[in-house]
Amino acid sequence: MVNSIHIIDMTGRILITTITTFSLPKAITLAEAREIFKSTAPKYQGVSGLLRKQYVLSEDGKTAGGVYLWQTRADAEAMYTEAWREFVRGKYQTEPSVTYFETPVVVDNVMGEVQVV
């Protein structure tokens, strides 16, 4: 059975998705990643403009990163400062990569919504 979907028209507001990745100096396990990510998660709570963050780890444990959904590009750019890069370098001993994407449609199955921006 398919639930009805509530469509939210947010035309004119551009959401931004960023994907950050970094190659790890040595592979880590999922359990190790979970502990590391839990330790940094509070840093992202209450960040202005950040709607959601998912931590990610490649299946081989050699690449980690995050997928972020932002209200604006300016909000995202405010996060990825030199201080943030230094934090990542200190935590993971590697240089982070950040890629920006415009996000015209978001499907949220938990809320039963499709956001059209």
Residue-wise pLDDT tens digits, 52-73: 999 999 999 999 999 999 999 9
Is it the case that residue 46 has pLDDT exceeding 90?
A: yes
Q: What is the CATH number of the domain that holds 59?
A: 3.30.70.100
Position 103 in a domain: yes
Q: What is the pLDDT of residue 15?
A: 92
Position 29 in a domain: yes
Q: What are phi and psi of 14, to 5 degrees?
A: -95, 115
> Do 53 and 73 contact (CB within 8 A), yes or no?
no
Counting beta carbons within 10 angstroms of the beta carbon of residue 28, is it exposed (0 to 12), middle (13 to 18) or buried (19 or more)?
Answer: middle
Position 28 in a domain: yes
In this structure, how many other beta carbons lie within 10 angstroms of the beta carbon of residue 115? 19
Q: What is the pLDDT of residue 36?
A: 94
Position 106 in a domain: yes
Q: What is the pLDDT of residue 1?
A: 39
Position 1 in a domain: no
Report how many domains make up the chain.
Answer: 1
Position 21 in a domain: yes
Range of the domain at 81: 6-116
Mean pLDDT calculated for residue range 83-94: 92
DSSP state, residue 70: E
Position 68 in a domain: yes
Position 78 in a domain: yes
pLDDT tens, 20-43? 999 999 999 999 999 999 999 999
